[in-house]
């Protein structure tokens, strides 16, 4: 399994090395291009994230690690390049984490530290919040057996 924290720290480091926002947006687009493809069958209503201006799909799978802890593996896609990059960033933060850790991690802090909170349109910010809430709801459901 890919070590998510290493990927996230690399993303943060790369993002912080870029001086202007045009380069940062290009980097987000590049992250989206590197996102593992979501199969066509998963582009369905069940996986669609409500509250996003662009179309976004998130598919979460519950896996148990060697210690029996429940973790969420995330796959997803978007029809918009920058949003697909935001999906990749959110997945770097949450995918492979335990369900409890997902509930404890504050994505807003990451977006603020990268300056994204101030540079995303309100629609994109709402979409990111919807995506994060969807992932947290999946984690809650996994923890409660629902």
Q: Which residues are catalytic?
A: 52
What letters, b where the CB count within 10 A reaches 16 and e where it falls short, cover 84-94? bbbbbbbbbbb
Question: How far is CA 85 from its chain centroid?
Answer: 9
User: Rounded to the nearest 5 degrees, what angle is found at the Cα of 100, between the Cα atoms of 94 and 105?
Assistant: 45
Which two structure tokens, joined as six digits, stand for 107? Answer: 């994505």
Give the separation between CA 38 and CA 6, rounded to whole angstroms. 23
What is the DSSP code (8-state) at residue 51?
T
């Amino acid at each position: 399994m890919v070590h998510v924290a290493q990927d996230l720290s690399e993303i943060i480091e790369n993002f912080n090395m870029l001086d202007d926002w045009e380069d940062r947006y290009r980097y987000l687009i590049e992250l989206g291009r590197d996102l593992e493809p979501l199969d066509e069958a998963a582009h369905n209503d069940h996986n669609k994230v409500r509250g996003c201006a662009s179309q976004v799909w998130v598919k979460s799978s519950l896996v148990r690690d060697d210690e029996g802890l429940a973790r969420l593996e995330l796959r997803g896609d978007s029809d918009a390049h920058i949003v697909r990059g935001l999906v990749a960033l959110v997945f770097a933060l949450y995918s492979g984490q335990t369900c409890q850790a997902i509930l404890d991690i504050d994505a807003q802090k990451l977006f603020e530290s990268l300056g994204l909170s101030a540079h995303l349109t309100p629609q994109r910010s709402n979409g990111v919040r919807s995506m994060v809430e969807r992932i947290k709801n999946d984690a809650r459901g996994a923890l409660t057996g629902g």
